[in-house]
Amino acid sequence: LRRALSELRPAMPAKSWAKKIDIAYLSHSARKHVAGAPPIISPRRGAKGMMRAMIHDFSLTERMEAWAQAARPLGITYVYPLLDRRIVEFALSLPDHFFVRPGTRRWIFRQIIDPSVPDLVRYNDSKDEPNRVTKLRPALHGAMLQCADLIEAGGDKVERRHLVDIDRLIRVLRADEEKAVKKLFSKRAALQLLKF
């Protein structure tokens, strides 16, 4: 557990790392093992480091597939012109300052967008997806309630329960819908750690 978390840990001050551990659903004994985990150098340093890391990160593929699936019933077909190998290789050859300028991320992409596209779209930096996420919330909340039921039904037979603060996790899984769907990463990591 300590090794896995230390590999995932970005280089960050001890206080920040303590906060990260605090929002995880680790048990008291498991926290002791990871609190002093040595920092590692993040592979996501700089714009190109981030791009390289994202190429190998399953979550990007997962997000694109989820967008395409959500759009299909609405008659929208997603296309991904920026995934053309030539464009990817070109982007990786550019220095970092082409991507990050004061107050603007992805600077070069915003510059090449057709100028007739409104600035509200060109310079939008939000990744919020309120329409899609709002539709998913009831199903996600239902799944969390089922997980809480399964963990409780498994009792002491739930493998790895000593690593997770079970009472705290169940309490949060059973919270009202709005609270339950916040900070999903920590909840999902705790559920994946358990075997129930």
pLDDT in tens, 56-74: 777 778 888 888 888 899 8
Q: Would you say 147 and 187 are in contact if contact means Cβ atoms under 8 Å apart?
A: no
* pLDDT exceeds 50 at position 7: no
Q: Tell me the C-alpha distance between 169 and 186, whole Å.
A: 10
The token pair at 37 is 């985990």
* Cross-strand pairs, 195: 159
* pLDDT exceeds 50 at position 140: yes
Per the prediction, the chain carries an average pLDDT of 79
Instruction: Report, as an integer, the average pLDDT of 35-52.
Output: 64
pLDDT at 77: 92
pLDDT at 193: 83
The token pair at 42 is 């993040």
Phi (first) and psi of residue 164, to 5 degrees: -120, 145
Model confidence over 88-100: pLDDT tens digits?
Answer: 899 889 888 888 8
* Among the listed residues 137, 132, 148, the one whose alpha carbon sits nearest the alpha carbon of residue 191: 148
Q: How far is CA 156 from CA 47, 151, 161, in A?
A: 46, 9, 8
Q: Which residues contact 170 (CB under 8 A, 6 or more apart)?
A: 148, 151, 152
Q: Tell me the C-alpha distance between 144 and 188, whole Å.
A: 10
The sign of the torsion formed by the CA atoms of 21, 26, 29, 30 equals negative
pLDDT exceeding 70 applies to what percent of the chain?
Answer: 80
Instruction: Report, as an integer, the average pLDDT of 135-144.
Output: 88
* Among the listed residues 3, 30, 8, the one whose alpha carbon sits nearest the alpha carbon of residue 168: 30
Q: What pTM was estimated for this model as a whole?
A: 0.56
Of 44 and 165, more confident: 165
